[in-house]
Amino acid sequence: MPSLLFCGPKLAACGIVLSIWGVIMLSMLGIFFSAKSAVLIEDVPFTEEDIRDDKNPPGNIYGLYNQVGINCFIAAAIYVGVGAVSLCQVRLNKRQEYMVT
Amino acid sequence: MSSLFRSEEMCLVQLFFQTESAHNCINELGRLGLVQFKDLNPGVTAFQRRFVKEVKKCEEMERILRYLQKEMVKSNIGIVATKKKEMVPCARDVLELESTFEKLEQELREINRNHATLRQNLIELTDIDSLLRMTEDFFEEAESLLTCSELPSEDSVSMTVSSHITSRRNSNSSTSGALHLSFIAGVIKQERFPAFEKVLWRLFHGNFVLRHAEIQATEELQAVRGAVKKDVFIIFVQGEHVREKIRKVCEGFRASLYSCPKTLFERKQMSNNVMSQMEDLRMILRRTEEYRAGVLTRAAEHVQEWAGKVKKMKAIYYTLNLCNIDITQKLIVAEIWCPVSDLALVQNALIKGSEQSGSSVTPVLNRIQTQQTPPTFNRTNTFTEGFQAIIDAYGVGTYQEINPAPYTIVTFPFLFAVMFGDCGHGLLMTLFAVWLISQAESLRKLKNELTDVVVGGRYIVLLMGMFSIYTGLIYNDCFSKSFNIFGSSWRVRPMFQPHGPWRNETLREHHHLQLNPFVAGVYSGNPYVFGIDPIWNIASNKLSFLNSFKMKMSVMLGVSHMLFGLTLSLVNFAHFRKFQDVVLQFVPQLIFMLSLFGYLIFLILYKWCITLRSESAPSILLLFINMMLFDYQSEYKLLYAGQKGVQIFLVVTAMLMVPVLLLVKPFLIYRTRMKTRRQVFGNNLNDQHETDTRSSISQHQKDEMTSMGDVFVYQAIHTIEFCLGCISNTASYLRLWALSLAHAELSEVLWRMVLQVGLKISSGTGSLVLVLLFAAFSVLTVAILLVMEGLSAFLHALRLHWVEFQNKFYEGSGYKFTPLSFDNLLKTQQ
């Protein structure tokens, strides 16, 4: 089985740090979007029509908020995957260090 | 007592100890690390000192150690890290170690020489071997040439050649009788061969036959001689004279020539000889390498220990050089600076040292009074070390002056945080600092200068991060977004009918609308509980509000910081008993500062507390400028009744302080000098030697006159520096506003241009784009906002401390206490 190692120890460590940060920050963003926080209004892609032609105000905007929130959660989940891969790389790097010396 | 508040009280102590116990005593003092030896022989050059031979011996030993270490690194032998043992070097050890080192060095050098010679021999033998093998074909050819020469020689003979041969020169052999071809065989570097061939061709015009072939590089050959490519060549020539010339050419090209026997049988014999010799040589080489490795491994176990011992001995001899040896050669006198509170420890160390050396007489400590300035010693622990270092970087404090370090522990991270102010970045910085603290030991081992600096400042980074989280919560800024924890105090709904003026059409007509706090219900009347209201984050006139707020805050922080510095100067005056200065310097400075800038702060706070309509609110800046210009007829209203009178009074008071600062002190000095001179003059009138005294008095007068001018000039400079400096330093604190604005804007730009692009994609692919953009966002955050802005804010906060804060009270003209400490020595070695 060919070696699964494709990045050095430093890149793997950076990967772990980035993944942890990504998971925490993106999941918190997801929570805040789902809570329809007003501070994040500029990050929601609404248009004039969404406001004007809304049958059930502010249902459209709330729907958009939810969509962005779900996107954030999915991104957080992807970062969990990235973190797991980085963790594997770190472990493999450590094992290789062991074997050489 | 008084650990970090003020530098320690030091005393000059004379030590007397016996020459035999000198080593042990100094060793004990070095382990203690609390005394600084004074140089008692300042006029003596380094080569005239008493122990210069011993110091040279130690340096020679260090050189040998370095050589040993280099050899060990070359042979990949690991240097064993020794545990810290209590190594007590004494005079005997010096000789012992010296002989050991010399022996080791000689042995190692001999081994290396032999190794080199053996290797050279092996190379030669391998060359001969390849030569013999490859010239088989050449000789066959030569023999056929010889037979061919009896045939008509006009035809140029072309021969089929073996596959090795790549070039060939043939010559029309002019024949007269039987040909007697002699040959020269050798080995030359491949890169030199073309030039070699050309030279031969030019010299002999083709009257020779040259064959060459490349030596195939086998693994073993590469290991022995490296990756140099060599060619075997053989030249067939006629005549001895030509042979000599060719030999010279070969020597010029550094080709090695070997004698090659003519007959096949002899060649085979020689080949066998060479093979067996090579085998022998290889075995000998292996044995030599093993022996060398053994010697080095044995030495490697002790190398660190020896290095430590040698360093200590060198330090001890260097210290002994600083002392005085009295005439009887039995007593050593040393003068040391040591903290008063540690005298008992020093005494104990000396007693222990003399006991160890077995001498009967205990060393004597004799404290002496002196007019010289002692060194400045601030006792620090790992936490305060970093802060003391950044203070000392600007100037080491004068002896017994107030130490700004304990206040810097709080004010420096705080001013940094005012400029950095972001919870998210502060949190990242704190986590980084925690990681640094936990990995401090292993990071120190890397011995990289940059990491050493960062590790040394790990506690500073930790405090900076924690304070940044606090100011981030106050600015309500986390990665450029605000938290709405307590509920905003502003409401939009009351702006609509029937409470307020807005209708649905208002929304459609205007792009920007302004919330009017005077409409009932819009502003709840209670400000946000902690920090800036989150509604400002989504307001488009956020910057107008924040700029005004941050500028006023910066000025307030600045004036408070400077007043604090001024108060510290009072403490200094009290300690040094300069009560005259308290009245003549501290009080006028304080009044000047308070009446102008203290009043400014009062105006700021007052304006914040009262309710004003924003259209008619007077600008504080203009109020202040008009106050200084005594301009009261402009249409700007005043903030409170009676303001005109108060302001005139304050400005006049401040202006009166200036001549007080400028003139009173020099005038008092002048008066005291006059008084002493009159006294001296009066006494001298009763003497008989009038002429002498008069001339000496006029001399005295002249000295005083010049220094009187100096006093005035010095005071003038000081006054101007303080008064003008007040204004410029206060304005300098506005950098607190500037940098925090820059940081907030950079943070917002990063969010808007990087992360928001990913967030605004609402379809499914948005999450993938978000993943990539988040990675970019985090890298840029770390690189730009944490590293660049962090360094920038660090630098500016440091400058504010060094210049604006410390020029109110700090003199900084001392010299640092550098004790003889083996811990420090060995730490620099590791």
pLDDT tens digits for range B463-499 = 999 999 999 999 999 999 999 999 899 988 888 888 8
Q: Which residue in the set B483, B762, B778 is minimally distant from A67, CB to CB? A: B762
Non-local (6+) Cβ contacts of B480 within 8 A are: B422, B744, B747, B748, B750, B751
B761, A22: Cβ pair inside 8 Å? no
A22, B778: Cβ pair inside 8 Å? yes
Cite the DSSP H helix spans in chain A: 9-34, 48-52, 59-100
**pLDDT score for B159:** 38
Is the pLDDT score of B166 beyond 70? no
B730 with B558: CB under 8 angstroms? yes
Is the pLDDT score of B624 beyond 70? yes
How many contacts, defined by CB atoms under 8 Å, are there between A and B? Answer: 64
Where does the pLDDT of residue B91 fall: very low under 50, low under 70, confident under 90, or very high at 90 and above?
low
Is the pLDDT score of B692 beyond 60? no
B768, A43: Cβ pair inside 8 Å? no
**pLDDT score for B147:** 63
What's the pLDDT tens digit per position in B339-357?
988 888 888 888 888 888 7
Query: Scanning the structure block, which residue is given the tokens 């001995």?
Result: B313
Is the pLDDT score of B165 beyond 60? no
Is the pLDDT score of B633 beyond 70? yes
Of A19, A31, A17, the closest CA to residue A80 belongs to A19
B760, A78: Cβ pair inside 8 Å? no
Residue of chain B minimizing CA distance to A52: B508
SS (H, E, C) B301-365: HHHHHHHHHHHHHHHHHHHHHHCEECCCCCEEEEEEEEEHHHHHHHHHHHHHHHHHHCCCCCCEE
Where does the pLDDT of residue B225 fall: very low under 50, low under 70, confident under 90, or very high at 90 and above?
low
What's the pLDDT tens digit per position in B561-572?
999 999 999 999
Which range among A38-42, B425-429, B825-829 shows the weakest confidence by mean pLDDT?
B825-829
Where does the pLDDT of residue B88 fall: very low under 50, low under 70, confident under 90, or very high at 90 and above?
low
B775, A25: Cβ pair inside 8 Å? no
**pLDDT score for B176:** 36
So what's the ipTM on this one? 0.94
Where does the pLDDT of residue B828 fall: very low under 50, low under 70, confident under 90, or very high at 90 and above?
low
Token pair of B19 as six digits? 């020459």
A26: which chain B residues are within 8 Å (Cβ-Cβ)?
770, 774
> Between A2 and B338, where is the model more confident?
B338
A39, B759: Cβ pair inside 8 Å? no
- The 10 Å CB-count burial string (b at 16+, else e) for B518-533 is ebeebbeeeebeebbb
B775, A39: Cβ pair inside 8 Å? no
Of B214, B209, B246, B208, the closest CA to residue B230 belongs to B214
Which range among B24-38, B392-406, B538-552, B779-793 shows the weakest confidence by mean pLDDT?
B24-38
Is the pLDDT score of B179 beyond 90? no
Is the pLDDT score of B413 beyond 50? yes
Strand pairing class (B256-258; B230-238): unpaired
Sign for the pseudo-dihedral over CA of B730, B663, B802, B470: negative
Torsion, Cα B747 B753 B759 B761, to 10 degrees, reads: 180
Is the pLDDT score of B216 beyond 80? no
Cα–Cα distance between A77 and B701 in angstroms, integer?
Answer: 88
**pLDDT score for B474:** 95
Torsion, Cα B656 B661 B663 B668, to 10 degrees, reads: 120
Q: Which residue in the set B484, B762, B771 is minimally distant from A39, CB to CB? A: B484
Where does the pLDDT of residue B436 fall: very low under 50, low under 70, confident under 90, or very high at 90 and above?
very high
- Average pLDDT of span B79-105: 73
Sign for the pseudo-dihedral over CA of B742, B744, B747, B749: negative
**pLDDT score for B550:** 95
**pLDDT score for B227:** 63
Where does the pLDDT of residue B177 fall: very low under 50, low under 70, confident under 90, or very high at 90 and above?
very low
**pLDDT score for B387:** 93
**pLDDT score for B172:** 36
Instruction: Give the 3-state secondary structure of residue B237.
Output: strand
Which residues on neighbouring strands pair with residue B257, listed in sequence order?
B186
Task: Give the count of beta carbons closer than 10 Å to the beta carbon of residue B431.
Answer: 15
B601 with B558: CB under 8 angstroms? no
Cα–Cα distance between B355 and B486 in angstroms, integer?
Answer: 71
A75, B770: Cβ pair inside 8 Å? yes
Which residues on neighbouring strands pair with residue B332, listed in sequence order?
B17, B325
Cα–Cα distance between B648 and B630 in angstroms, integer?
Answer: 7
Residue ranges, chain A, pLDDT below 50 = none
Q: What is the DSSP string of B543-586?
A: HHHHHHHHHHHHHHHHHHHHHHHHHHHHHHHHHTT-HHHIIIII
How far does B493 lie from chain A, in Å, by closest CA? 14
Return phi, psi of residue A78, to 5°: -60, -35
Query: Scanning the structure block, which residue is given the tokens 């005394």?
Result: B35
Q: Which residue in the set B534, B767, B778 is minimally distant from A21, CB to CB? A: B778
What's the pLDDT tens digit per position in B111-162?
889 888 888 888 888 888 888 877 777 777 766 766 655 444 433 333 333 3
Chain A interface with B: residues with Cβ < 8 Å: 18, 21-22, 25-26, 29, 37-45, 64, 67-68, 71-72, 74-75, 78-79, 82
Residue of chain B minimizing CA distance to A61: B762
Where does the pLDDT of residue B728 fall: very low under 50, low under 70, confident under 90, or very high at 90 and above?
very high
Token pair of B658 as six digits? 């200036």
Is the pLDDT score of B538 beyond 60? yes
Residue of chain B minimizing CA distance to A69: B759
A58 with A12: CB under 8 angstroms? no
Of B368, B363, B389, B367, the closest CA to residue B378 belongs to B389
**pLDDT score for B462:** 96
Cα–Cα distance between B595 and B617 in angstroms, integer?
Answer: 23
A72, B759: Cβ pair inside 8 Å? yes
Strand pairing class (B324-325; B181-189): unpaired
Where does the pLDDT of residue B180 fall: very low under 50, low under 70, confident under 90, or very high at 90 and above?
low
**pLDDT score for B161:** 34
**pLDDT score for B155:** 36
Is the pLDDT score of B167 beyond 60? no
How far does B771 lie from chain A, in Å, by closest CA? 5
Cite the DSSP H helix spans in B154-239: 193-204, 219-225
What share of chain B in percent tops pLDDT 90? 30
**pLDDT score for B170:** 38
**pLDDT score for B224:** 57
Substitution target from A28, A53, A60, A68 for chain B, most B beta carbons within 10 A = A68
Torsion, Cα B166 B167 B171 B177, to 10 degrees, reads: -30
Residue of chain B minimizing CA distance to A67: B762
Query: Scanning the structure block, which residue is given the tokens 């620099």?
Result: B828
A79, B771: Cβ pair inside 8 Å? yes
- Average pLDDT of span B371-389: 90
Task: Give the count of beta carbons closer than 10 Å to the beta carbon of residue B704.
Answer: 17
Which range among B77-91, B403-417, B419-433, B610-624 shows the weakest confidence by mean pLDDT?
B77-91
B773 with A75: CB under 8 angstroms? no
Query: Scanning the structure block, which residue is given the tokens 């810097």?
Result: B408
Instruction: Name the helix (H) or strand (E) containing B529.
Output: none
What share of chain B in percent tops pLDDT 70? 88
**pLDDT score for B264:** 77
- Average pLDDT of span B182-189: 80
Long-range contacts of B138-143 (CB under 8 A, 24+ apart): B138/B211, B138/B234, B139/B264, B139/B267, B141/B211, B142/B181, B142/B183, B142/B209, B142/B236
Instruction: Give the 3-state secondary structure of residue A51.
Output: helix
